[in-house]
Chain A
Amino acid sequence: MRIESASDWAWETDAALRFTRVGSAIAGLAPEALCAHERLRKSRTRFHDLLVEHRLADGRRRIAALSGEPAFGTGGEFLGYRGSGRDVTERVITEWALRESEERYRSLVELSPDAVLIWQDERLVFANRAAAALLGADSPAALAGRNLWQVVAPQFHERVRERLAQLSEPGRTLPRLEQVYVRLDGDAVEVESSATAFSYLGRPAVLTLARDIAERKRTERHIRSLYAELEARVEERTRQLRATVAELESFSYSISHDLRAPLRAIDGFARILLAEHAAGLAPDARRLLERVSGNALTMGRLIDGLLEFSRLARKDLAAAPVDMAALARAAIEEARSAGAPDTEFRLAPLPGASGDPLLLRQVWVNLLGNAAKFSARARSPLVEAGGAAGESENVYFVRDNGAGFDMAWSGKLFGVFQRLHDDAEFGGTGVGLAIVKRIVERHGGRVWAQSAPGAGATFWFALPAPRT
């Protein structure tokens, strides 16, 4: 019989195993707590650390461990049990928690979709169901004792050996590795594995997590091949497109050339008639010949415009810092001497640009020339140009106080041969603004305009801000 310590207490039961005396600490123990223990009633032998649940007066659940031995009367009759008890609540709860935690981990491992493999001395000592499935075994047990070097494909032996060497200390974890395992049937399977060193059943072990990535690899390869196919297709289309564009350009170029020759003949022979046979021609015949030759010249100018426009598409774009203010000043001089001597030009500071100086010069020449042309009939013609630097783009404008146009037609403004005024009012071929648009857009910029009839017009263009 144990000696009662501070935490131990003594107890006694009657022959029916009902408690007749219990220590003070066990106040809540039901008198019938032991009655249910059939074995004790029958065997009447000593027992040790029998766990009994009870509640304290305040309702807290406690667990006691009772040890006892049977007591017999002088006539040998069974009197009941006597013994000692201890409160073991904390220890038992800790044990339960531990067991539950172990079970939780076990089911985690068992249910894990990833293969879990534990190796000791390069042999498999544990595998879960996913590992069995991965390696093509009927059950984890079928894998027991399998050699690491049978599982890892030969081409990865060296890599895995290196990794194992890094796992000498417990707790070390290796980064993920894409490698190949060999299934029981000899087939290869692509896996992504990670490994960590730990202690298993008291001995150093390596825990490996492996995931079947065959599907992912297939998808990756599929995506890669789709991508390559797409690339090839885009390349092919681009090539076709380039060829088509080049064909179109050379077509329009040669057409333009071939059209010029007969025009020259029309104008030429009309003028020869006028110059050398004037005497034999009635005044009306001379007037009509003048018109023949005038129309030939107009068509010649249209073709020249078309040629210039088509040349722009083929010209390689230079990329240099461009002093826009200098270009605008030169273009103003050009516009002034081209027939706008009375026009007042005002030039505000212009931010610099990056691009093809010759082409950007053409933008200023066309816009300022346009502005001068359409404001020439104003009472005091005024053309202004300015600009502002922005974060992503620099914006420039050319404004005039001339004829303006109805915004309803603004969509036609930048098209080739689109004109909003007839020839008698303002001459021109209708390619100037189309050229501006093409140049600006080839620089990655945009053009737009704002106007009202009689209220002048403002043309804007924006270019990507030069990288500093």
Chain B
Amino acid sequence: MKPDLEIEVLLVEDNPNDAELTLRALRSSVPRERLAHVDDGVKALEILFGDRGLAARTGASMPRMILLDLKLPKVDGLEVLRRVKTDDRTRAIPVVVLTSSKEERDINESYRLGVNSYLVKPVGFDEYVAAVADAGRYWMALNQPPLAKLAG
């Protein structure tokens, strides 16, 4: 990740296989250098809210989408989601949970915290690529983000 470049997608995923598949799925729509991948919740929060994170830097724009796994080392996905959705600077970033959990608890808690999309990872690679690519297309191309910069 090059901090001087604008990050379009933040991928928070601890499984290297899934990370690689996700990156491939997004390859056609997002240049690799605009795509940040971290493998735990602490690093995700650092990128967003750390001393040298995006929120602290003047002029830095926020990611246009966060792909978030739930089962993460250290700080888990739900906590990352909560922090993102309770902070005015990051609230408007579309967060897509990408997880293998179909647990009612995980699904309902994610929606309660304000998730924008909840995707269950399909086993089949074709469906997986389609799901990630569709989410990227929808949130970054079709969806109209807020116009005015949210008050920081």
Interface residues of A (CB under 8 A from B): 253, 257, 260-265, 267-272, 293, 296-297, 299-301, 303-304, 307, 311
Contacts and interface: CB of A to CB of B under 8 A. Distances in A.
A264 B101 CA distance: 14
Nearest to B17: A265
Q: Which 6 A-B pairs have the closest CB atoms?
A: A300-B123, A265-B17, A268-B125, A271-B125, A268-B21, A267-B125
A276 to B, nearest CB: 9
Interface of B: 15, 17-18, 20-21, 24, 100-103, 121-126, 128
Contact of B100 (A260, A271, A297): A260
Contacts, number: 52
B18 A265 contact: yes
21 contacts: A257-B101, A260-B100, A261-B15, A261-B100, A262-B17, A263-B123, A264-B18, A264-B122, A264-B124, A264-B125, A265-B18, A268-B17, A268-B20, A268-B125, A268-B128, A270-B125, A297-B123, A297-B124, A300-B124, A301-B123, A307-B102
B121 to A, nearest CB: 6
A441 to B, nearest CB: 22
A283 to B, nearest CB: 21
B6 to A, nearest CB: 28
A308 to B, nearest CB: 9
Nearest to B121: A264
Contacts of A263: 123
Contacts of B126: 271
Give the most central of A267, A268, A311: most B CB within 10 Å. A268
Contacts of A299: 123
Contact of A293 (B21, B100, B102, B125): B125
Nearest to B22: A268
Contacts of B125: 264, 267-268, 270-272, 293
A358 to B, nearest CB: 13
Nearest to A272: B24
B24 A264 contact: no
Contacts of A293: 125
Contact of A253 (B17, B18, B103): B103
Contacts of B122: 264, 300
A235 to B, nearest CB: 27
Nearest to B99: A257
B123 A264 contact: yes
B124 A267 contact: yes
Nearest to A297: B124
Contact of B17 (A261, A270, A297): A261
Contact of A265 (B21, B101, B102): B21
Contacts of B18: 261, 264-265
Contacts of B128: 264, 268
Given A264-B21, A268-B125, A307-B102, 10 more contacts: A257-B100, A262-B17, A264-B124, A264-B128, A265-B21, A267-B123, A268-B20, A269-B17, A270-B125, A271-B126
B22 to A, nearest CB: 10
Contacts of A268: 17, 20-21, 125, 128
B39 to A, nearest CB: 14
A293 B122 CA distance: 13
A311 B128 CA distance: 23
A136 B24 CA distance: 98
Contacts of B102: 307, 311
A299 B124 CA distance: 10
A250 to B, nearest CB: 10
A468 to B, nearest CB: 33
Give the most central of B102, B123, B124, B128: most A CB within 10 Å. B123
Contacts of B101: 257
Nearest to A261: B15
B27 to A, nearest CB: 11
A272 B101 CA distance: 25
A429 B44 CA distance: 39
A260 B102 CA distance: 12
A272 B17 CA distance: 12
A297 B124 CA distance: 6
Give the most central of B101, B102, B121, B128: most A CB within 10 Å. B102
B151 to A, nearest CB: 40
A297 B122 CA distance: 10
A56 to B, nearest CB: 105
Nearest to A271: B125
B15 to A, nearest CB: 6
Contacts of B103: 253
Contacts of B20: 268
A257 B100 CA distance: 6
B123 A296 contact: yes
A301 to B, nearest CB: 8
Give the most central of B21, B102, B124: most A CB within 10 Å. B124
A421 B123 CA distance: 25
